[in-house]
Amino acid sequence: MRGGSLLPGRNWQSDTYRFGAAGGQEMDDEIYGATSTSYTAEYWQYDTRIARRWNLDPVDKPWMSPYHAFSNKFITNIDPNGANDSPIYDSATGDLLGTDDQGLQGDAIVMDSKDFKQGMKHEDAQKLDKGWLNGFASAEARMSMVRTHTSLNSRPDYDGQLTLEEANEWFRTGNGQPLFVDAAQIDLSPVFSDELPLGQGVPVNFASLSNANLETGLVYGTILLTRTTATDVRIGSNNGLIDTYDFEQQPGRTGRNIATAIGGAVAGNGIGFQIRGYGTGRVRQRPPAPVHNPGLWGPKF
Q: What's the CATH number where 226 sits? A: 3.30.450
Cβ contact 86:109 at 8 Å: yes
Q: Is residue 289 part of a domain?
A: no
Q: How confident is the model at residue 249 (pLDDT cuts 50, 70, 90)?
A: confident
Query: Could you give the CA distance from residue 127 to residue 276 in angstroms, rounded to a whole number?
Result: 22
* Residue 292 in domain: no
CA distance 105 to 116: 18
In a domain, 290, yes or no: no
Judge if 271 and 173 occupy the same domain: yes
Q: Using the 3D structure, point to which of 154, 174, 198 is the last residue of a domain.
A: 154
Hey, which residues does 111 pair with through a beta bridge? 90
> How high does pLDDT run on average in the chain?
83
Would 53 be classed as within a structural domain? yes
Instruction: Give the predicted TM-score (pTM) of the model.
Output: 0.71
Domain match, 184 and 263 both: yes
Same domain, 122 and 205: no
Query: For the chain, what is the domain count?
Result: 3
| Domain shared by 184 and 195, yes or no | yes
- Residue 71: its pLDDT value, please? 60
Residue 179 counted as domain residue = yes
Q: Taking the CA of residue 281 as centre, how many other CA atoms within 13 Å lie in the half-sphere pointing to its CB? A: 27
pLDDT digits (tens, 9 = 90+) for 42-94: 556 777 777 777 666 655 555 567 666 666 655 555 555 444 558 999 999 99
95 shares its domain with 184: no
State the SS3 of 217-238.
HHHHCEEEEEECCCCEEEECCC
Using only C-alpha atoms, what is the Rg of the chain? 24
The domain boundary residue, chosen from 97, 130, 154: 154
Q: Please give the pLDDT value at position 6.
A: 62
Residue 293 covered by a domain: no
Q: What integer pLDDT is reported at residue 150 of this predicted model?
A: 85
* C-alpha 197 chain-centroid distance: 26
- Whether residue 190 has a cis bond before it, omega within 30° of 0: yes
Same domain, 99 and 189: no
29 and 116 assigned to the same domain: no
Tell me which residue range forms the domain holding 2: 1-8+16-83
With respect to residue 199, please indicate whether it lies within any of the assigned structural domains.
yes
Q: Last residue of a domain, which of 35, 57, 83?
A: 83
176 shares its domain with 145: no
Based on the fold, state whether residues 53 and 130 are members of the same structural domain: no
| Domain shared by 180 and 240, yes or no | yes
Q: What is the average pLDDT across 205-223?
A: 93
User: Quick check: 90 and 41 in contact, CB under 8 A?
Assistant: no
Residue 175, in any domain of the structure = yes
Contacts (Cβ under 8 Å, ≥6 apart) of 128: 109, 111, 112, 115
Q: 135-179: per-residue pLDDT in tens?
A: 999 999 999 998 998 889 899 999 999 999 999 999 999 999 999
How many C-beta atoms lie closer than 10 Å to residue 257's C-beta? 15
* 228 and 171 co-located in one domain: yes
Q: Same structural domain for residues 277 and 200?
A: yes
Sign of the dihedral through C-alpha 199, 204, 209, 215: positive
